[in-house]
Structure 1
């Protein structure tokens, strides 16, 4: 006796293969080139993935890099059910192959010139182009931000040297913040001295200048803007707000160090509090300010979005007047 609802056969592509075969094969090829093929780094003995992992350190002010692949995978997993629904019956687009070939060209040039940044920069192009070729625009549109989010984790050469102005700005803002608490200081370049010699001079180096905090906040604000259910121009404001908010949050963090040095323990302020003030002061304040920006754009808290009122227009017809008919 046949069952009333026989199991449906697994979904197949045009060649009769299961749908998972093509992306699995592409993923295997990409993994070999990025995790096995060497020839990158100073000694030419690193794979692209190993080189990228070695650059996520405090010397490059890219310690946030370890969070980038985790966030990428998390965003894709968050959209996984939606991606599966969009992939069913989707038609691929041949132009996706052009994007994938461009990413491959980046890898070849990087291997020839010893520039691993180009190889990492081409990886999102390969993955996104493959998704466009296999499943078309609906799927690739959803994957665009999670895949190209990897670019945030690529360290830019000579980036620290370009942040000198940020160090000077942070130094003067910290001096201004300290004056609000009655602390008299003297600024010489990127060093701040106590006017009364209460504590040893403190120097605002590259990391303390805010570049490390700025890059981390850009990473957070970009994900925040991506998840926010607002229009595109509001997403752009949320992303760009990371720059002033990072400067303001870093000023408050530095000010707290000088306040503790003046009225408390200078050694504790210069060591323990300096290391922990980012988690205690910078991130809570910066995220709170980012929430305020989002709330201002939404005209209320994001999780309490005002419901749009639907106004119904009821058009009433007046009763027809009774016509008078004269009977001869």
Structure 2
């Protein structure tokens, strides 16, 4: 009997050792990808939020800790096989990226590797626990250059037109020419860094995290996600309009720099306020359950 227990203990110990070895190998193999992502987050303004994405993903794991599978629920040939296949797919995607010098394929190969590791180690119950964190990691990965450039150019043009109209609406003379808004005091250029893509991506990430956290009906979460691009554009227009107002009131190089910094700081709080208001409005749209309504026996039928 004792020998059987020793055999089981040794088997479990060897499993833990094997899992730890596999995880270490994957971390070492993808270490350079992590360094590449860190460099992207540091150098590209549109990806500066990437530093916070892994932290939020870990927090989501803690938030959903009640779904952590028990020891008896972990394992199974099917989940291990599926995990290994997905990991190999991620490695193949990375090899393709290295071979064809594609940064997009190299960085996005992280997702299937993480997903396969979760399934292989935690089983299907582990996937149920960790899938929001795995999905959220996508926000730390750069968009393909063609996609980012296309959306960035359209957002830049849209932000210029709407901001120009808003400035005129508040009584400031403004004329849009290309991606430049001409004020009476000085021109206000809507540069690529001000196109709103960074705000749009960051706010969409916040909206997704909010949907994972809050216990709301599915239709409310769909509305919240669908409105995220609109709120991101509105926040960016608010920023450009605020800069234009400051430019018009206090022209000068020092004030211009302050206007850019100050308006940038106010973008995210402004967007979060809109998010809170939206959640409050959606809460008011929920009809009370029939059981909570007053009932009178003498009510006419």
Question: 1:74: which partner in 2?
Answer: 59
Larger gyration radius, structure 1 or structure 2: 1
Deviation, 1:238, is: 1.7
Q: CA deviation at 1:60?
A: 5.6
The answer as to whether partners of 1:60 and 1:160 remain within 8 angstroms in 2 is no
TM-score, with length taken from structure 2:
0.82
Matches within 5 A, 1:1-328: 15-17=11-13, 20-35=16-31, 47-59=32-44, 61-80=46-65, 82-83=67-68, 86-90=69-73, 91-92=75-76, 93=79, 94-156=81-143, 157-162=145-150, 163-194=152-183, 197=184, 199-280=185-266, 282-299=267-284, 310=291
1:38 is aligned to none
- Quick one: structure 1 residues 89 and 160, their matched pair in 2 at CA, closer, same or farther if it must change by over 3 Å? closer
Shift of 1:146: 0.7
Q: CA, structure 1 residues 145+14, in 2 after alignment: closer, same or farther (shift >3 Å)?
A: farther
Pairwise CA distance, 1:155: 1.4
> Conserved in 1, the CA contact under 8 Å of 2:83 and 2:116?
yes
Q: Deviation per CA, 1:141-194: give whole Å up to 9, x if none.
A: 221121232221221214453122211111111112112221111111111112
Structure 1: runs of 5 or more not aligned: 1-8, 36-46, 313-328
Whether the 8 Å contact between 1:178 and 1:258 is mirrored in structure 2 is yes
- Cα distance in structure 2, aligned partners of 1:233 and 1:20: 42
String of CA shifts for 1:194-225, please: whole Å, max 9, x gaps.
2xx3x211110112121121121122111112
C-alpha spacing 1:80/1:69, structure 2 compared with 1 (3 Å): same
What RMSD, in angstroms, separates the aligned Cα atoms of the two structures?
A: 2.9
Change in CA separation of 1:167 and 1:116 when aligned onto 2, cut-off 3 Å: closer
Higher-RCO chain (CA-CA 8 Å, sequence separation at least 6): 2
Give the aligned length. 282
Distance 2:19 2:226 in 1: 35
Deviations 1:18-56 (A, max 9, x none): 775454333211111011xxxxxxxxxxx2111111111
Name the structure with the higher helix share.
2
- Confirm or deny: 8 A CA contact 2:60 2:133 kept in the other structure: yes
Q: 1:246 to 1:231 in 2, by over 3 A?
A: same
TM-score, with length taken from structure 1: 0.76
The one-character-per-residue Cα deviations of 1:107-159 (angstroms, maximum 9, x if unpaired) are 23223333343233222212222322333222112211212322212212144
Shift of 1:267: 3.5
The equivalent of 1:315 in structure 2 is: none
Asked if the contact 2:247/2:259 (under 8 Å) is kept, the reply is no
| Cα distance change, pair 271–164 in 1 and its aligned pair in 2 (3 A) | same
In structure 1, the residue matched to 2:297 is: none
